[in-house]
Amino acid sequence: MIARRYRVSGRVQGVSFRAWLQDEARHAGLAGWCRNRLDGSVETVLCGGEGDVAAMAARLQQGPSHAKVEQVEDLGETDLVDGDFEIRPTG
């Protein structure tokens, strides 16, 4: 099990990015969380098997249909998160 943190920037707020991410992560069996950031980006922590996390990280490049992802920044390893994938308040 690994946990990695990412910041996704572009047109990623107001386009259901977090709901899409939650659905995709749950479908992939990942734990973690996502939240809007005050700078307009979305931050996420993905926890699971290395291959599953890498596959979801690659999907972040596309996002939902109305999103326009400009950059996905890998912020490195972080603490593991247990349980379900949740949407957190803006931070």
Domain regions of the chain by residue span: 2-79
Active-site residue set: 18, 36
Per-residue confidence (pLDDT) for residue 91, from 0 to 100: 86
| Rounded Cα gap, residues 42 and 72, in angstroms | 10
pLDDT along the chain (91 residues), means of 10: 97 97 97 98 98 97 96 96 94 86
| Per-residue tokens: 36 | 């809007």
- Exposure class string for 50-86: b at 16+ Cβ within 10 A, else e: eebbeebbeebeebbeebebeebeeeeeeeebeeebe
> Could you tell me which CATH number the domain at 2-79 has?
3.30.70.100
Single pTM value for the model: 0.95
User: Which amino acid does the sequence have at 59?
Assistant: R
